[in-house]
Amino acid sequence: MSESKERSGEVFHPPRAISAGARIKSLEEYYALYERSVADNNDDFWKEMAQKHIDWFEPFTQVQSGGFEKGDVAWFADGKLNVSHNCLDRHLATQPDKVAILWEGDDSKDIRRVTYRQLHEQVCKFANVLKSLGVKTGDTVCIYMPMVPETAVAMLACARIGAPHSVVFAGFSSDSLRDRVLDGHCNIVLTADQGRRGGKLINLKSTVDQALLECPAVRHVVVLEHTGAQVNMVAGRDQLWHSLMAEASSECAAVSVPSEHPLFYLFTSGSTGKPKGIQHSSGGYAVYASMTHQYIFDIKPTDVYACMADVGWITGHTYLLYGPLLNGTTTVMFESTPLYPDASRYWDMVERHQINVFYTAPTAIRSLMKFGEAAVKKHDRSSLRVLGSVGEPINPEAWRWYYDVVGDSKCCISDTYWQTETGGIVISCLPGCTPMKPGAASLPFFGIRPVLVDDQGAVLKGNDVRGNLCIERPWPGVARTCFGDHERYLNTYMRHFKGLYFTGDGASRDNDGYYWVTGRVDDVMSVSGHRIGSAEIESALVLHKSVAEAAVVGIPHDVKGQSLFAYVTLKEGVVADQTLTTELRGMVRQHVGAFASPDEVLITAAMPKTRSGKIMRRLLRKIASNETDSLGDITTLADEGVVELLISQVNALRANK
């Protein structure tokens, strides 16, 4: 057996070739640095990291202050910097002609390579455009744009003049956009005529026009001509991107801002309530984004790095834009989908662009598994060194497919755990260093002290325990507040368990100290007194050779407290027969236990997914519970028609009992 396939039970050891050149080469080296990073007095560690990763206009003298109880966390507070300067200007002396952004459009032939010199010029020009429109330091700029380089230009231009940006995912409805414009107190919106995605056109400008009917404070709309479509232009309010850029100077000094100055707001929402604007700082966020990107993806100077996320989400902020550019990396920006024009699109990109580090979501991996190995193996993927996973726990079967098929058992997998609120990755493998366990988030990143607590807040000591996942001490990248509503911030994250940051997730810690995230606490189900996470049952279901994806929810039951309802999609070409549901229940009994066997199993062609690929489990729960009159906001779904399909299928399933 080759060195890359050596295992101890379910432990995969990093290939020696990767370990030899890794930034952190052994567990002993990791633990030594980790213990220093979480020591009671760790100021020296963070001072060293902040000075190593960031250029400061004015040096800081105080490393950290505040805590979770009052939500007054601050890092490097008396220092001053500019994040745009750190992403661009400081690289011009050493690598001005290196590609900063390698953009591939919806059509694979549509490719642009933007160097650091070119990106700097464009950012300076657009920063001057913003200033000419009256945008000042501290003003919030709403960005509702497609996945094009100009979106990155807009974000970096905002940072350059100290104007926090609020990027709204360009798949949100006009109502969702309206709410985010109002909540962010924005008086300027940046958009495009249309977006392209998977061969379809998305009418962005018309969505903006509809949203702004109820946003009287918006004075300016800047429109990028992306597809060239004819759009409505409101006189006195709307102006064309290229016309403004043609008149702008390419010189714009970066504004010096305090470390705690807001870099951006990112609005997240649940099934109820207003969106909450997660506020991230400039200095602490930049330090943490740069560090985590460099260590967790083992970034080399020559790497071509590809994060498949949209900039409308935190992954796109931290690991498509800011982290890579802070580190002077070539970052790939992708406009399309993994299935357009066919299931080999990702691997075709890897071959053509010689991508070394590839970062995507488990949902994308599982959707590609349906099409088998041929779509992957017809492309040369020998350039790959690190494969990343983000968004939700990756089930072991998908992990193995990613490792064996995509990576040819020669790559390290970084299964990353983090949230919008954490700013960056908090638990992950380090490539070449950490032995890998399929499905495990693994070990904490530097400075992160995770704890598991029971429902009363008592800390669970030792290994082989399960509880609520919290973090004991602040780290530089943690969100500072909810914009305009600090009480909501405290109530959501800091007051569930006094003195701790509560992730909202459940997790277990195994005998090696590895963390296994079991999913949102809301997804922990209680069946006849047994508490179990949905991820465990889903992992058992996808072990079946016919299953591509599974989602399990708990619904009210008079006797058991909750019963389990499983939604299952099959691999391409597989037709369900009468024995399949019996076999699926058997898989759960075998790998989890009889108590976890789903009461109902629905074989379906599709799951309700957001445009970023996440399954909306709250919708599955409501549909299975017959609560279809209160589904909440479904505008983020990639295909809203899936909801009606599932409602009819659930009704038919129960009618045939």
> How do residues 376-403 score in pLDDT, each as one tens digit?
999 999 999 999 999 888 888 899 999 9
CATH 3.40.50.150 fits 450-520, yes or no: no
Q: What is the pLDDT of residue 2?
A: 31
Residue ranges of the chain with pLDDT lower than 70? 1-9, 269-274, 522-524, 526, 528-531, 559-561
Query: Dihedral angle at the C-alpha atoms of 228, 230, 234, 240, nearest 10 degrees?
Result: 10
Mutual angle of helices 641-655 and 617-624, in 10-degree steps: 30
Distance CA 618, CA 156 (A): 35
Q: Is 641 helix (H, G, I), strand (E, B) or coil?
A: helix
Distance CA 23, CA 431 (A): 8
Please identify which residue in the block is written with the tokens 């929402």: 269
Q: Where are the domains of the chain?
A: 3-187+254-449, 450-520, 528-655
Q: What is the pLDDT of residue 596?
A: 83
Distance CA 138, CA 265 (A): 12
Beta strands in 282-389 (DSSP E): 304-307, 330-334, 357-360, 386-389
Report the run of H or E that residue 175 belongs to, with start and end.
Answer: helix 174-183
Phi and psi at 622, nearest 5°, equal -70, -40
Domain 3-187+254-449: CATH superfamily, name plus number: ANL, N-terminal domain (3.40.50.12780)
Q: What is the pLDDT of residue 350?
A: 98
Q: How far is CA 400 from CA 464, 517, 614, in A?
A: 24, 18, 20
Looking at the DSSP assignment, which residues form a beta bridge with residue 412?
Answer: 386
CB 247 within 8 A of CB 448: no
> How do residues 328-363 score in pLDDT, each as one tens digit?
999 999 999 999 999 999 999 999 999 999 999 988
User: What string of H, E and C letters represents the secondary structure of 599-635?
Assistant: CEEEECCCCCEECCCCECHHHHHHHHCCCCCCCCCCC
> How do residues 507-566 score in pLDDT, each as one tens digit?
999 999 999 998 778 666 767 556 577 877 888 899 999 999 999 998 887 766 688 999
Q: What is the pLDDT of residue 8?
A: 37
Q: What is the pLDDT of residue 523?
A: 66
* DSSP at 513: S
CB 34 within 8 A of CB 26: no
Distance CA 145, CA 155 (A): 11
CB 575 within 8 A of CB 599: no
Those residues with Cβ within 8 angstroms of residue 58's Cβ, 6 or more apart along the chain or in another chain: 78, 79, 80, 81, 256
CB 193 within 8 A of CB 227: yes
Q: Are strands 501-509 and 465-471 parallel, antiparallel or unpaired?
A: antiparallel
> How do residues 119-145 score in pLDDT, each as one tens digit?
999 999 999 999 999 999 999 999 999
Report the run of H or E that residue 325 belongs to, with start and end.
Answer: helix 323-326
Domains 3-187+254-449 and 528-655 share a fold: no
Please identify which residue in the block is written with the tokens 């598991």: 452
Those residues with Cβ within 8 angstroms of residue 578's Cβ, 6 or more apart along the chain or in another chain: none
528-655 CATH choice from 3.30.300.30, 3.40.1190.20, 1.20.210.10, 3.40.50.300: 3.30.300.30
Q: What is the pLDDT of residue 524?
A: 64
* DSSP at 193: S
